[in-house]
Structure formats: C-alpha cells, structure tokens
Amino acid sequence: MTILYEPNRRVAQQFAMLLGSDTLTVVTSSDLARLVTDLPGEWLVVLGPGVELGEAMAMAAGYRLSRPSLGVVLIRAQTDVGVLGDALRAGIREVVPADDSVQLLNACARSVEISRQLLPVSPTRPEQSGPETDAKVVTVFAAKGGCGKTTVATNLAVALAEGGRRRVGLIDLDLAFGDVAIMLQLVPERSMADAVGLGPALDGRAVRALFTPYGPGVDALLAPTGPTEGEQVKQDLVTQILQLSRSLFDFVVIDTPPQFNDHVLVALDLSHQHVLLTTPDIPALKNLRITLDTFDLLNLPQEHRLVVLNRSDAKVGLTSADIARVIRTPIAAYVPSSRDVPVSINRGVPIVLDNPQHPVSRAIQDLAVNRLADGQPGRPTARGLRGLLGRGRR
Ligand SMILES: Nc1ncnc2c1ncn2[C@@H]1O[C@H](COP(=O)(O)OP(=O)(O)OP(=O)(O)O)[C@@H](O)[C@H]1O
Ligand SMILES: [Mg+2]
C-alpha cells in the first residue's frame, strides 16, 4: 500500500489513479502524520508536486530517524540539480518529474524494494499485535426520516474527536442514500462496498484503508455511490467491518437509514450507546415510541439509550410534558432549531467546527463529552497534538 500526500485534491486524484487502487490519499500534513502513525507497517509515502520542498524535506528527515523503513518519493513539477541534492541529503529516496509516470512507478518500486531489505520481516499488522484500542460504538438512529441523524452523527464525530485528541471513525450505514460524504464534502473514492469479496484478506489494515480522512481525529467510511453497490454489502460483512473498526479508533459513530434493516440491527447489537433522535412533532414522537418498544423486544439495554430532541425549540404547540408523556423516557439532550444548521450543511462544514459556540454546537458537544465520553477529556496524544498543530479542517 502507498500513502500519497498532495494538498490539491484534483492533482491528488490524478496521481492516486496512477499509483493504483491500494493508495491512501491525504490532502493535509496532519492527516499524513496520523496515517503514518496508524499504519506502522507502511513502506512508501509519495509527496505530490503541491507539497512545499521545505515541508517534504522536514518530513523525510524525520522519517529517516523515526521510521527508516518508510521511503519517501517526491514528485516535482520541475527538477533541477539543486533540488535533487537538497532532497536526497534530507533522506528523500527519489525525486521524479510530475509528467513522467513510468519514472514515478519505477521509483516507487525501487523504494519499496529498499524498505523490504531494511525490514526483512513482514510489517506488523495492527490486529497481530492485539487491538490498540477498543472503541466505544455509538449508533445514531431514528425510524422516521429527516429527524437530523446525519447532522447529529457528523457533528458528534467532530465533537468527540476534539481536534484530534480522540480518534473517531464515522461510518455511514445508510448504504443506499448515505449523506455523510456530501455533508463533509468528501469524495467517495472508497466505500464499504470495496470490502465485498475480500474474504480472509479483510483485516484491520484493509478496513483502515476503506476510511477516508476528514480532519484531525475523524475518518469516515462512506456509503457507496449507488444503491446497487450497497445491496452487495451483507449483514456478515457489516458485522466484520464494525468489529475490526473497533480496534482502530477510540469511538465509532454510526449513521443509519430511517428503518430497522439487517445492517441497522447489527449496528445496534454491537453498540455501547444508542442515540435516538426525534423532533417535537407527533409522527416523530410516535415513531420514537415504537422504536423504544421494539428495542425492548430486541432486549437492547435501556441504559444504552440516549434520547435527543432535535429542533427542541420549534414552536409546534407541544410542551416538554406532552413529549415526556409520549416517550416515557428522559431526554438526554436538547438540540435547538437553527437555520445555521442547513447553512453549515450547504457549506459542507459541520456546525461544531464552523461555529463551536453556537447553541446547536454546544448541545452536541455536551452530549459528546459529558454523556458519551463520560466527561473524560480526550487524551493529549502526540497524534492529537500534531493534528491540532496541522491545518485542521479543510
Ligand atoms: N437542529 C436543526 N435545526 C435546523 N435544521 C436542522 C436541524 N437538524 C437537522 N436540520 C435539517 O433537517 C434536514 C434533515 O437532516 P438530516 O439529513 O441530518 O436528517 P436525517 O435523519 O439524516 O435524514 P434521512 O432520514 O433522510 O437520512 C437537513 O436539511 C438539516 O439541515
Ligand atoms: Mg441521513
């Protein structure tokens, strides 16, 4: 597998296609740092023409000491002798011109061969050394469409990550009509459907490769681009992917379609916490009541449930007492209604990132930190600090 870092998305896509399907592409240095740390067995980083020379040399010099088996190949729009000398002195293995694809592929192959010789044993896979973490799994669900599941799931993921202090995997389980990619403005180059047919090759590393980096601490496993691809993803595969994802993150947040399908049942079964959304209108409340009854029938523990009233302040003639009477369950969070929510969605930036002081953001942050992370502050890991120092969101 190859890690490609190129800040320009369009250019990144071109080189990713050239380098092959097992290339992981990142567009920020913080995502690169995180991926390199998360994948201790990787052998090759390709730095695109948009990466500044100084940054590239600093990275290569760092890896030469901390990860000698990780080769760096640098692509330059123009290569001159000065650049070449400086780059090689910094530890970059090869510098290749951007318009010579054959030279690039040969340089990558040579670098991998050097890494292989430096590290004769096969690289450690995360699951071979035992799971690094055992993520808490949170499923966001509502049986009625349009209650705000994807809005809450994406913002919860960002709030839980706290700028990179925790690692969060956001999984879009709405395989037919998933909106996570569009809400985060991510290009769905990989999805859960890419795991179909992998069989025994589906391990932690393969699952990690399915995730698309978003921002500090947040990676997203996107829904396939069409409903047909989604149909190929069976219940067993979802179970495997969710279980393997637990070893990769501190939190796994799952967005769902508005129905109890096989995939949703798997997610609910594997979750430590069920965030159940409703809005203050009779159809949504009735559906939540039915959902709660169904959860009882399925023996899903009551203590896992966190009911969130979205658009809680909407003036619709229902009092909190009316709502409590219908759902017979305490409400864990009240998320107000605001036109800033659709505005942030249209801009492709979750409101928690866009405006952390906004009442909607505060409600979701409170749910994330005080109810889901048990009030524990995130761990200030080196990875997290690097994330905070990086460019942050895109
Ligand atoms: N608190 C809020 N204030 C204002 N608008 C909101 C709020 N929460 C969600 N919305 C809007 O409601 C719409 C539906 O939200 P969203 O897509 O998150 O719902 P969903 O439950 O995921 O829908 P689906 O069932 O189709 O997947 C969006 O246009 C979103 O902007
Ligand atoms: Mg949705």
Residues 173-228: tens digit of each pLDDT: 999 999 999 999 888 888 999 999 888 888 888 899 899 988 888 999 999 987 78
Specify whether the CB–CB gap between 155 and 361 falls below 8 A: yes
172 and 318 together in one domain: yes
282 and 371 together in one domain: yes
Minimal-distance CA residue to ligand 1 atom 14 = 146
pLDDT of residue 383 exceeding 70, the answer is no
More confident: 279 or 20: 279
Query: Which of 63, 87, 118 is where one domain is finished?
Result: 118
Query: Which of 73, 89, 118 is where one domain is finished?
Result: 118
More confident: 307 or 119: 307
Q: Does 280 contact ligand 1 (Cβ within 6 A)? A: no
Within a domain: 303: yes
96 and 240 together in one domain: no
Q: Does 279 contact ligand 1 (Cβ within 6 A)? A: no
92-139: pLDDT as tens digits: 999 999 999 999 999 988 888 888 777 544 333 333 334 456 899 999
Within a domain: 127: no
So what's the pLDDT on residue 122?
A: 34
So what's the pLDDT on residue 95?
A: 92
104 and 223 together in one domain: no
Within a domain: 44: yes
282 and 382 together in one domain: yes
90 and 197 together in one domain: no
Q: In what order do the strands lie in the sheet with 212-215?
A: 212-215, 218-221, 168-172, 251-255, 136-141, 273-278, 305-310, 331-335
Token output for 242: 């969710």
60-72: pLDDT as tens digits: 988 887 888 899 9
Within a domain: 319: yes
Token output for 291: 């959902």
pLDDT of residue 170 exceeding 90, the answer is yes
**Using CA atoms, how far apart are residues 141 and 289, in angstroms rounded to an integer?**
13
Q: Which structural domain, as residue segments, surrounds residue 34? A: 2-118
109 and 201 together in one domain: no
Q: Given pLDDT bands bounded at 50, 70 and 90, which one contains residue 384?
A: very low
Atom number, ligand 1, closest to the C-alpha of residue 277: 21
Within a domain: 229: yes
Which CATH number characterizes residue 319's domain?
A: 3.40.50.300
Q: How far from 51 is each of 10, 36, 37, 173, CA to CA, in Å?
A: 14, 16, 19, 34
**Using CA atoms, how far apart are residues 76 and 324, in angstroms rounded to an integer?**
63
Which CATH number characterizes residue 99's domain?
A: 3.40.50.2300
225 and 374 together in one domain: yes
Please give the average per-residue pLDDT across 22-40, as a whole number. 87
113 and 217 together in one domain: no
Query: Which of 77, 92, 118 is where one domain is finished?
Result: 118
Within a domain: 126: no
Domains identified in the chain, total number: 2
158 and 86 together in one domain: no
pLDDT of residue 3 exceeding 60, the answer is yes
So what's the pLDDT on residue 173?
A: 97
Minimal-distance CA residue to ligand 1 atom 31 = 342
- Of 139, 141, 151, the one to substitute when testing ligand 1's pocket (max ligand atoms within 8 A of C-beta) is 151
Ligand 1 centroid to residue 152 C-alpha, Å: 8
So what's the pLDDT on residue 132?
A: 53
Q: How far from 118 is each of 37, 86, 205, CA to CA, in Å?
A: 19, 23, 21
Ligand 2 centroid to residue 161 C-alpha, Å: 20
- Of 254, 287, 341, the one to substitute when testing ligand 1's pocket (max ligand atoms within 8 A of C-beta) is 341
Ligand 1 centroid to residue 149 C-alpha, Å: 7
More confident: 50 or 87: 50
Atom number, ligand 1, closest to the C-alpha of residue 142: 21
Q: Given pLDDT bands bounded at 50, 70 and 90, which one contains residue 55?
A: very high
More confident: 108 or 388: 108
Reported residue count of the chain is 394
252 and 110 together in one domain: no
Task: Indicate the average pLDDT of the chain.
Answer: 86
151 and 99 together in one domain: no
Q: Does 360 contact ligand 1 (Cβ within 6 A)? A: yes
Within a domain: 305: yes
